[in-house]
Structures are given as structure tokens and as C-alpha cells.
Structure 1
């Protein structure tokens, strides 16, 4: 590797931390930027200081590895480290670089990091991301202005995007659409709903109001969503 690749480790097992930190230290071109056992602390850090590569556990208390990825969005390359092979398929749906089963050998670690893109090609562009999204709707690609989205609702295998002027039926699932939305602007509040943060008018422990519309907060998403709101200083 000719460029230094910065790395953040997120794993609630201290022993695994030490193993991965040792591997990083032994490998030329890698630099450990930070390491966390608490995924919520990692979330706060990564929102302002994304690394080139995230070494991420899946099963963690309060916030799973996949929930963490949902919240930070596609901002960096990811290698999953887990003792559970059954999560591998889900991991690859997040376009992870590799999925390492614990205990991770140094040889397997090297093979995984050998797949990552050069650090300079992975850094966020200084240009602002586009304020729109093209979605497949019927036989057309429809341009949806993100500023006009009020909420997005799951409709079995599809998703309905409710905007200020129309309803756009997308031919992809809510899960797929969620991965394409900027994580800093949109948040999942329920298995069936995504809302833009700037359209939220009011919140209680069970509901979110977008304009006059009341939407439910799912129990699976409540703690993560309310933590996100607290971090924004609006609760």
C-alpha cells in the first residue's frame, strides 16, 4: 500500500480489540485512528471523523453493527468481524469489503485489507452531494427532490415516497432505498417508515409528527432514533 489507510475498530470485546490493533500495527500502510467498545461512542465519533476503513463487530449491546451502518451511511469501507456466519449475507447487502469470522488470523486479515481501495480514492468529496434521487417507478426513472420528501413508507416489496406535491411509487424496497438516502438527512423510525429530520415537527416516545401527520416509532428503532435526536440537541 502506498497510501496510509486510517482505521477505526468497533467491537465490544476487549480481547478482539487488542488482536485487531496488533494486526493493524504490524501492517505497513495502516494507521489506527480510534477504537471503541461502545458503538454509540463510535457513532458520535464517526459522524464527524470518518476513517478510510471500519473494522466492525455485528453483535453488540444497544446498537448492532448493521444499525450503526444504517446511521452513518456509506461514508467508508467496512470489514465485518463476527463470530456468527449467519450474518454474512446481510453484511454483503451493505457492500462490505469482506466478512471475517472470529477468531481472525493475521493471514485472513491481510487478505481482507488487500481488497480495500486506496485511501485517497475513498475520502469524501468536498462537493455537496446531489439534492435529488432517481428512483425506478413503473417504466420510468423519476427524479425526486430530497428537500420535498415528507416521509417514505414501505409497501410490501416496494416503497411509497410522499413528497409535497405527489406520491412516487418506487419499485425497490424500503431497505434498499434507505441505503441510497443520505444518513445525515434521513432516519428510520419504524420498519415501515423513513422520515427526513428537517421535516419533523414534534416527537414523543411513541410518535413523530411530520406536519399534521402522526407516524409511529417502532420499538426496534426507538432507542437509536431518540439517541440521534438527543445528539442533535432538539429533545
Structure 2
């Protein structure tokens, strides 16, 4: 998987060094280099870029100001001869901050960090548990334990396979946002069910593995059709 990048630096020798370094990294694709920030800003407004190598001291626009005003959110690696801007780079969530002259080994270390961040964005880790607050403590609940979730006005009761139910102060809508949509489906204004715990669906009723039967309301009728097609 390629990481599309551009380099912005008003010094031609620095552009040459960065271009040469980028050519040695197989997963980096250099789209363009720019010796002025204005042209680079215009380019970024219309072209998708994953990673930006950005100098800070430039005559037209300061690199920090450019980064703050970007419409898109590419990963940032600052390249500069000035140490005093490191904290500003941290505030902008930069992947790294490279001091010139930049050794190739230090450059490579920075782009490895960028690759890890990029892969995490593309392939976020699967959610395997949630935390809820109950009985004055935060409780970790493995997703595979959840059979169904029941709304009790302002509270939820989370029914589990091998543990007693857990009661927590939360709305069903908020809980739905925390759960992986492909694994948990809302079937009623009062119920969310774990799809892998469903044994059968008959006459607008869902029968679960623990023999519980729950109604499917008219507004969630699509759930029945989609479940039968799986």
C-alpha cells in the first residue's frame, strides 16, 4: 500500500535530499515537491495527500501556519533547522520533527512511524470489548459475552452469557454507537441483540441462544429480511 506524499521547502538542496530519501522507501510515492507554500496549499486543496514533509521557515507562509489552516488532514513530518518549534509540532499532532541536516537513518525512523499511523487509520483494530460504569466502577465487558441489551428508561441491562446482567446508566442509542454494527443489531426501541446469539426469527420474534424471545418492532422490519439473507 502506497503512502502519497509531497515535500514543501524553499531550499532546493533540501528538496533534492528529501526526494532522494523518499525514492529509497518502497511504500512512499512522491507526488510533487514545492519550493513555495502558496503553490503547495493550492495543490492540497484539490489533490489527496497522505503525508506532508514540511519545512517551517519559508518566506511566504510559515510551515506551522500552513499546517494549522489545511482543509484536509494529512500526516505531518516537520523538517527544520530550528529546535524551538518542536512543541508546536507536538500540538499539531505531527508524526515526527526532523532537525536538519537530516541523516537517512533518522528519516527512515520517522517514515516507519508514519507507516504505522497510516495502517492504523486504514485498518483500525477490531473492537473486542467495551467499558461501562456500573456500581461505582468501570467494568470491562467482552463483546462475545453479550447476548442482548435491554433498555430500562434511563438505564441499560446488559445480559451476558456466563455472568450476571450488568446495569449501567446509558441510552440505547449511545450504546449502539459503541458497538460494532455488523455484530449487534437494534430490533426494537428497547432491545439490541448480538447477531451471533440468534437461534431463529419467527413471526416478528427473535429467539436467542439462552431461549429468551424478544419482539421485533415494525420500524426494524428490515432486520428480519436482512437476517434471512445471511
Relative to the length of structure 1, the TM-score reads 0.49
Q: How many residues in Structure 1 have an aligned counterpart in Structure 2? A: 121
Equivalent residue for 1:4, pick from 2, 23, 27: 2
* Aligned positions of 1:210-229 closer than 5 A: none
Cα distance in 2 for residues equivalent to 1:73 and 1:56:
16
Instruction: Flag as ranges the 4+ runs of structure 1 deviating above 6 A.
Output: none
What is the Cα-based RMSD across aligned positions, in Å?
A: 1.8
Equivalent residue for 1:34, pick from 32, 35, 38: 32
Structure 2 residue 80 is the aligned partner of structure 1 residue 63: no
Quote the residue 1:81 is aligned against: 79
Quote the residue 1:196 is aligned against: none
**1:73 Cα shift?**
4.1
Quote the residue 1:98 is aligned against: 96
Cα distance in 1 for residues equivalent to 2:119 and 2:43:
19
**1:71 Cα shift?**
1.8
Cα distance in 2 for residues equivalent to 1:120 and 1:7:
17
Which of 1 and 2 has greater Rg?
2
Contact 2:68 2:92 in 1 (8 A): no
Q: Against the structure 1 CA distance between its residues 66 and 29, is the aligned structure 2 distance closer, same or farther, given a 3 Å change threshold?
A: same
Structure 2 residue 41 is the aligned partner of structure 1 residue 43: yes
Contact 1:58 1:81 in 2 (8 A): yes
Cα distance in 1 for residues equivalent to 2:81 and 2:63:
13
**1:119 Cα shift?**
6.0
Q: Against the structure 1 CA distance between its residues 121 and 64, is the aligned structure 2 distance closer, same or farther, given a 3 Å change threshold?
A: same
Unaligned runs of 5+ in 1: 123-235
> Secondary structure at 2:45's aligned position in 1?
helix
Quote the residue 1:118 is aligned against: 118
Cα distance in 2 for residues equivalent to 1:74 and 1:47:
8
Relative to the length of structure 2, the TM-score reads 0.50
Q: Against the structure 1 CA distance between its residues 31 and 75, is the aligned structure 2 distance closer, same or farther, given a 3 Å change threshold?
A: same
* 1:59-105 superposed Cα distances (whole Å, 9 cap, x missing partner): 00120101111221451100000000011111111000000000001
